[in-house]
A and B are shown apart, each in its own frame.
Chain A
Amino acid sequence: MNLNDLINQVSSWLKGTGPHSDIVISSRIRLARNLDKTPFPHWAKKNDAEQVLVTTKAAFERTAELKSAVFLRLEELDNIDKQFLVERHLMSNEHAVRSNQKALCVTPREDVAIMVNEEDHLRIQVMESGFDLDKTWDVINSIDDQLSGFLSYAFSREWGYLTACPTNTGTGMRGSVMLHLPALVMSRQINKVLEAIAKLSFTTRGLYGEGTQASGNFFQISNQVSLGLREEEILGNIKGVIGQIIEQEQKAREVLLAEHREMLEDRIWRSYGTLKNAHIISSGETVELLSMLRLGNDLGLVENMERGLINELFILTQPAHLQKLENKKLSANERDIKRAQIIRERLKV
């Protein structure tokens, strides 16, 4: 597998399949792991960090799920490639910015991605399409068990997995679910939902991860507490909360259809019309309009369209993806033109 192969495929977590995939885009779990008696990445000397790359790469090669994965040294990638990996949710922006002695291990299906030398020595991430934290946990738990046989993890009986930041100590686990909640936003109930979530010590982020504002009705919800609860309990709590939100969104969709059908259809078809015909379009407008198109598709108002195609457009229309498709650097204006062109091509019936 080669980095450039990725542009021609849809990441497995974006397929639009799996339980409740009309509302849940994807389920994701990450585990923070560190090596015993080795300075954490921010505090490590070059040699220590280099040694971590060697040790972990060897461990990945012996792990069943990672047999066909690629190991990318970030210093060897240009800025567009790094941004491309960030846009595909395979690594953090932080990992792309300071890239010395850093690596990314990613499987061909893009369901497993491991950042080496980010904030912790290892940030293992597994993503699945739809609402399926159990399957996601099974995969990541198996990978983690194997790696713990090859690597000497930093672990204490009292505090669990020891991480660079004490906010991750314990299980080192963060489970998150990406939701599409247009009806709760349109009916102005979303703030109540978000407030309730904050009270239960869950966090909400936007479509593009840490530090991003919620846009296009997408919300990523994850646990904050990582110590004092078993992994299954943390995931159970997330499942409970997400189950409630899914129900609320379903109800809000029913009400919209029953009471404001004309308004709803108007917004959906106008969005579809603009996407199919625009020649210049910003990324912000794209996300808003695609969100409405996805809703139309999920409600059966817009037929004959694959959910996966709409999901893919969210990723393909981002700056680094457009530049990789065009194979050159593009200015903001040029990107807006290219973006509109890609959308028109993909949505041609």
Chain B
Amino acid sequence: MLCNICNKNQATVHLTEIVDNQMTELHLCDDCAKKKSIQMEQQFGLSDLLAGLVDYSKQLGGSEKSAVGTQCPFCGLTYEDFRKIGRLGCSECYTAFGRYLGPLLKRIHGASQHVGKTPLSLSQEEAKSAVRSRGSSVAELKAKLQEAVDREEFEEAARLRDAIKEAEKTEKKKKSKTEETGQ
């Protein structure tokens, strides 16, 4: 088989590309494959891809001017750095560049609200404080949970679910104590 690019040399490298969900096969000779791989690295480095997305998000949301010069106060990474390397500098960058990252995350994942697990220590702590601060009964919390679900506020719903579990435990304890003392 001859090389698809130069049509002169024997093809030794067989490449499968997926562009826009279309799969194409390329059969290349050594020389053309080398050229192609350099080209691909230039075109398809992850950071470049991300930079492309970053630019796209900017068209959608924030203006270019406000992004330039934004810097993370904690680690010193600038928005320009992020565009170049495609990596954030620390957890605080997410706050510093928050308004640009929202649209970007949406673009990458098709969503911008986390619904997965929460670090154990955090979920326990927040559930307790929620119960304390509101002093709500299980019934009240359950009503709030339903409202949150209706509004599709899943973050709030997850927090309320944990709070209900905690409140149920507390009520059970109270009840069994009352029974023990025979009152």
Contact = CB atoms under 8 A, between A and B. Distances in A.
Contacts, number: 128
A166 B18 contact: no
Interface string B96-131: 000001001100111111111111111000000000
Given A39-B75, A229-B111, A155 B118 contact: yes
A164 B92 CA distance: 11
Contacts of B75: 39, 43
A165 interface: yes
A199 to B, nearest CB: 5
Interface residues of A, number: 46
A154 B18 CA distance: 34
Contacts of A165: 46, 50, 86-88
Interface in B54-105: 74-75, 77, 85-92, 94, 101, 104-105
Contact of B117 (A36, A171, A191): A171
Contact of A148 (B105, B114, B120): B120
B116 A194 contact: no
Contact of B105 (A164, A166, A191, A198): A166
A157 B105 contact: no
Given A37-B74, A43-B75, A229 B121 contact: no
Interface string B18-44: 100111000000000000000000000
A167 B88 CA distance: 11
Among A148, A171, A228, the one with the most B-chain Cβ atoms within 10 Å of its Cβ is: A228
Nearest to A170: B114
Contact of B114 (A37, A154, A191, A227): A227
B91 A228 contact: no
Contacts of A171: 114, 116-117
Contacts of B50: 165-167
A161 B120 CA distance: 13
Contacts of A166: 50, 88, 101, 104-105, 108
B115 A230 contact: yes
B122 A155 contact: yes
Given A37-B90, A195-B21, A169 B119 contact: no
A158 B112 contact: yes
Contact of B115 (A36, A225, A229): A229
Contacts of B113: 158, 227-228
Contact of B90 (A43, A144, A227): A43
Contacts of A119: 87
Given A148-B121, A153-B119, A159 B114 contact: yes
Contacts of B88: 40, 162-166
B108 A167 contact: yes
B155 interface: yes
B116 A231 contact: yes
Contacts of B21: 195, 198-199
A169 B101 CA distance: 11
A42 B94 contact: no
19 contacts: A38-B91, A40-B87, A43-B75, A155-B118, A155-B122, A156-B94, A162-B91, A165-B46, A166-B101, A167-B108, A170-B114, A191-B23, A195-B23, A227-B114, A228-B113, A229-B111, A229-B115, A230-B116, A230-B117
Interface of B: 16, 18, 21-23, 46, 50, 74-75, 77, 85-92, 94, 101, 104-105, 108-122, 155, 159
Given A141-B117, A198-B23, A226-B109, 13 more contacts: A149-B121, A157-B155, A158-B113, A159-B105, A161-B114, A162-B94, A167-B108, A195-B18, A228-B109, A228-B114, A230-B115, A230-B117, A231-B117
A-B interface, 4 closest residue pairs, ranked by CB to CB distance from nearest:
A228-B111, A160-B114, A154-B91, A148-B119
